[in-house]
Amino acid sequence: MKYHILLLVMVFFATGCSEEDDLQPSYSDVEWFVLQDNLDDAVQHAAYGVYSTWGIPVFCNDTIGSQERGLDHNGNPIVYYKVLDLNYNLNNPTNAFSINAKHISLIRDEADKLAGIKFVDEVLLPNVPEIFYIQSILLLDSIYEQQYVGGAKSMKAVHQAMETLAVADIPVIANMSQAEKIERANEIITYLAIKYLAKNPSSEIETFKKVSYDPATQRSYYGMNVRTPNYPGESCLAPARWEVYGFLDYSRDNYPYVTDPDITKWRYRIVKEDEDIEDYIMAVVSYSKAEFEGMYAEYPMVLEKFLIMRGVMESIGFELK
């Protein structure tokens, strides 16, 4: 019996040693998102400056590195390419054949790349709260969705993927005025805020939405038609500017008519909840309290919603004007 136990122990150790001899590298120690400076490459040097200041790598190519991982059966090297995949998202997986799949075009001109890096460094990142985690930024010529080859392209200005925040229209941004660049940065920040609030809901958002509400009829104004009723008792709001009902804009759906000097002839539709939230976040990051109150002093609902959204933005780390 002792002989058999001793034999089993010897076999165990022999097998263990054999397995250790066959261990392969894990390749998990490569720091893809750590930038190195290169004085001979103007774009890399500029990107390194941003990385040194903000700790966020900026790329102008979705392939950010490669690594040899052994040899194949023919003795040729196996090369792994690290690619920033805009379609990889644990919360919303898509693939290249999905109608929601993102397609990209890279920036060609070096001057545009340098202008994009400067935009990120001087206009965008100084106003992004630390709570918005950005692993990297990918600067692009364009981002679009396309249902089928040859079909219409749905263009995107920005997209947040698992490992990167992709910012499009860099050649356009390169030629913008400073005011236009600030507006584009605010649009990107608004996008990030909406994504954050979707994952971290605030109870104050419900308070915000209840401002545009008629307690007498117990109905929300969202999505309602604003026009003279076609028949007695029709459910619609009396013709008036959208600010009267607490909104900063109106929906472009359903052929709106808002140009007649006689407002009683106007007809349009109130925006949806998500559009309203986006409008107010954009307003909060764009205007100071005094500026906004001066612009909308005649509309108490608008002012009330602005103050609520301002409080929401401050609560998640915004340093507002």
Distance CA 313, CA 197 (A): 10
Tell me, what amino acid is at 202?
S
Distance CA 203, CA 104 (A): 37
Average pLDDT over residues 201-216: 91
DSSP state letter for 40: T
Q: Is 203 helix (H, G, I), strand (E, B) or coil?
A: helix
Both tokens of 314, joined, read: 């401050």
Higher pLDDT, 92 or 41: 41
What sign has the CA pseudo-torsion 289, 290, 296, 299? positive
DSSP state letter for 251: B
| 103 strand-pairing partners | 144
Is 23 a residue whose pLDDT tops 70?
Answer: no
Average pLDDT over residues 245-252: 96
pLDDT digits (tens, 9 = 90+) for 153-194: 889 999 999 999 999 999 999 999 999 999 999 999 999 999
Among 16-20, 41-45, 67-71, top mean pLDDT goes to 41-45
| Distant-in-sequence, close-in-space partners of 121: CB < 8 Å, separation ≥ 6 | 49, 50, 53, 54
The pLDDT value given to residue 279: 97
Mean pLDDT of the chain: 88
Percent of the chain with pLDDT over 70: 87
Distance CA 48, CA 54 (A): 10
Percent of the chain that is helix, strand, coil (3-state, to 5): 40, 15, 45
Percent of the chain with pLDDT over 90: 66
Q: How far is CA 302 from the centre of its chain?
A: 26
Burial class (CB in 10 A: 0-12, 13-18, 19+), 297: exposed
The pLDDT value given to residue 146: 79
pLDDT digits (tens, 9 = 90+) for 82-132: 999 888 765 554 444 444 678 899 999 999 999 999 999 999 999 999 899
The pLDDT value given to residue 182: 97
Distance CA 55, CA 93 (A): 27
Band of pLDDT at residue 215, cut at 50, 70 and 90 = confident
The pLDDT value given to residue 233: 77
Reference 86, options 30, 139, 31; nearest CA is 139
Distance CA 214, CA 121 (A): 45
pLDDT digits (tens, 9 = 90+) for 273-319: 999 999 999 999 999 999 999 999 999 999 999 999 999 999 998 98
Task: Tell me the backbone φ, ψ of residue 97, rounded to 5 degrees.
Answer: -100, 0
The pLDDT value given to residue 73: 86
Band of pLDDT at residue 247, cut at 50, 70 and 90 = very high
Average pLDDT over residues 52-68: 93
